Structure 1
């Protein structure tokens, strides 16, 4: 199947948005989008295994270890070995991490508000649905 000009333009737009999103998010919030997603996942789930976290946020094991070591050094997360299975590590936010993620919400909300300026709630819902479908379609590629 050949791509139409519109489909090609869509691909280029998505790539350009992707390239802009991470550095602009980091500039506005002071934290990388990867670390924000990691912290937010912990905020929602309290305590998870490191391997669960890696799969949930779709990064490799070396990257998750690197992020967690830095976040632990910054006092935002704590890690502990599973006493039953020493190969497994549990991760959770510290009190400082909980405060930190709560403070990020305002910066994140401002970033999202600016990014979606002039979009109606219906348009945001439709775009969310379409992007989720795209992501689903790509999962087995």
Structure 2
């Protein structure tokens, strides 16, 4: 006769499960929104390129090696992705004045305009979604997400 034991839930486990579930829903919906965003920037932009474009904007002027390190991917992979962004006219290369072998990446005027339009549309969408919430609750959500994101950077 085999004896089975019941699993006793650890106190508070339900709250962690609920967070995990809700984050899963958020991430799935975020991927769908990102797909819309990348198509709004350029119809030929692939899935990872939108985030890369945003990172170049944030870190400009950015070196390809720094971008590869940031995303934890190889230089060959980042080079392929950058080549597509460059062919689409969204980024441009400039020589590094200190190291003639290296170059920096920045958004082109076209890339900046397309990114700005897509970001404004996304912000308007979030505002429409959250417009029924009191502003202090929206601020609390932003603060909590910021705290969570800070945790994930070091985990």
> TM-score higher than 0.5 here?
yes
The 1:120–1:38 alpha-carbon spacing in structure 2 relative to 1, beyond 3 Å, is farther
Instruction: Report Cα offsets for 1:116-141 as digits up to 9, x if no partner.
Output: 34233222221222122222223333
TM-score (norm 2): 0.69
- Residue in 1 that maps onto 2:150: 136
Name which of structure 1's ranges 2-11 and 59-68 shifts more when overlaid on structure 2.
Answer: 59-68
Structure 1 segment 1-141 matched on structure 2, within 5 A: 2=10, 4-27=13-36, 30=39, 31=41, 34-55=48-69, 58-61=71-74, 62-82=76-96, 84-86=99-101, 88-141=102-155
Task: Tell me how far 1:90 sits from its aligned partner.
Answer: 0.9
CA distance in 2, matches of 1:127, 1:121: 10
Give 1:20 deviation, angstroms.
Answer: 1.4
CA RMSD of aligned residues (A): 2.8
**1:43·1:93 contact (CA, 8 Å) conserved in 2?**
yes
Q: CA deviation at 1:70?
A: 1.1
In the aligned structure 1, how far is the partner of 2:23 from the partner of 2:80? 28
Deviations 1:100-126 (A, max 9, x none): 222223322233224434233222221
CA 1:19–1:99: 2 relative to 1, 3 Å = same
**8 Å CA contact 1:29, 1:107 repeated in 2:** no
Tell me by how many angstroms 1:11 deviates: 0.8
SS of corresponding position for 1:79? strand
Q: Distance in 1 between matches of 2:144 and 2:85?
A: 33
Deviation at 1:72, TM superposition (A): 0.5
Unaligned regions of 5+ residues in structure 1, if any?
A: none
Higher relative contact order (CA 8 A, sep 6+): 1
State TM-score, norm by structure 1: 0.75
